[in-house]
Amino acid sequence: MLLQIIVNGILKGGLYALMAIGMALIWGVMDIINIAHGSFIMLGAFTTYWCFSLLGIDPFLSLIASMLVLFLLGYLVQKYLINFVIRASAFITLILAFGIEIFINNLALVAWTADVRKVKVSYGAANFSFGSYLTIPTVRLLAFLLVIIISIVLFVILNRTNLGRSIRATSQDLEAARLVGVDVARTYAVTFGIGVAAAGAAGTLWSILFPISPMMGGILTLKSFVVVIIGGLGSMMGPLIGGLTLGVTEALGTNWFGSTYENLISFTILVLVLIIRPRGILGGTD
C-alpha cells in the first residue's frame, strides 16, 4: 500500500515538475513571476482537447503541436507585450501578467464554455500490475516518461547549445551578455516561448490524466509556484526535486487526511520551506 502511494506521488510529481520548469526558467532569466503560467497550461490542455475531439489525433502525438503553438504564442506575448515593461518594477510586470491571465481565461470561456471536459483515450484503463503490491496506469507511466524526455531536451538546449549559452549569460549578467553580442531582446522572447511551450506540454499531459476547464489555470499557477519555491531557482534540478517532493508529500497526505486537504498540504509545505529554507532545497546551486 505504501509503495503504491509513493509511486503515485512520483508519477504526479513528474507532471508538477514539468509545470514548474517553464515558470522557473522565465523567473530565473527574466526575473518575472508569470502569473499567467497556469492559463498557458490550460491552453495547452485545450489545444490537445481540440486536436483529439475534432481531428482524432492521439494526445501523445498532439503534444508536439501543443508545444509549437504555445511557443509561438509565448514568443509573441513577450515580444509585443511584456517586452515593453521588461525594465519596469516587479509590480508592473505582475499586473501585466495578471491582465494576460484574465484575458486568456475569458477568451477560453467564450471558446469552450465553463464545462469540465477530459481527453478520454481508448487505452486509458490499461495498466501494469506487479502482483497485489503495485499497479501503474499506462497513461501515467507514459506521461512520466515524456516528462523525463522533455526535461532532458531542455537541459541539453540550455547547457549544450549557443541559444542556451545566450540564455544563461543573459540571466547571469545582462550587460556582459550585451557586450559579447547577445541579442537580449530576442533571447528574452525565445526564453519566454520555451517556458510557455513547457507549460503547453504540461497542459497536454494534464488533459490526459485529469479533467480540464477554462478556469483551471489559477490553481496550476499556484502549484507551479510552490514547486519552484520548494526546489529553488538557479538549477534545472530544482523544479524536478520540488515536483517530486510535492507529489509524494501530497500522495501521503491525502492518503492519511483525505483528498479535501490536498491544496492545504501543498501550501503548508510552501510556508514551511519559506521559514526553514527560503531559497529552496537547491536554491542558488547549479
Rounded to 5 degrees, φ, ψ at 133 are -90, -35
User: Which whole number is the average pLDDT over 32-37?
Assistant: 92
User: Which whole number is the average pLDDT over 65-81?
Assistant: 95
pLDDT at residue 284, as a whole number: 56
In terms of pLDDT, which residue wins out, 118 or 69?
69
pLDDT-based confidence at 283, cuts 50/70/90? low
pLDDT at residue 188, as a whole number: 93
DSSP assignment, residue 161? S
- Tens digits of per-residue pLDDT, 166-207? 998 888 888 888 888 889 999 999 999 999 999 999 999 999
Look up residue 238 and give its three cell numbers. Answer: 530544482
In angstroms, rounded to a whole number, what is the distance separating the alpha carbons of residues 286 and 279? 13
Mean predicted lDDT score pLDDT of the chain:
90
Which of the residue ranges 57-66, 72-81, 178-187, 228-237 would you say has the lowest mean pLDDT? 228-237
Q: Which of 175, 211, 144, 113 is nearest to 10 (CA)?
A: 144
Percent of the chain scored above 70 by pLDDT? 98
Largest CA distance in the chain: 62
pLDDT at residue 88, as a whole number: 82
- Tens digits of per-residue pLDDT, 223-254? 999 999 998 876 778 899 999 999 999 999 99
Q: Is the pLDDT of residue 102 over 80?
A: yes
Q: Is the pLDDT of residue 3 over 60?
A: yes
Q: Is the pLDDT of residue 65 over 50?
A: yes
Report yes or no on whether pTM surpasses 0.75. yes
Look up residue 279 and give its three cell numbers. Answer: 531559497
The 3-state DSSP class for residue 137 equals strand
Which of the residue ranges 122-131, 132-141, 184-193, 209-218 would you say has the lowest mean pLDDT? 122-131
Q: Is the pLDDT of residue 126 over 70?
A: yes
User: Which whole number is the average pLDDT over 136-158?
Assistant: 89
Look up residue 239 and give its three cell numbers. Answer: 523544479
User: Which whole number is the average pLDDT over 54-71?
Assistant: 94
Q: Is the pLDDT of residue 285 over 60?
A: no
pLDDT at residue 187, as a whole number: 93
Vertex 48 angle, CA 117 and 51, to 5°: 105
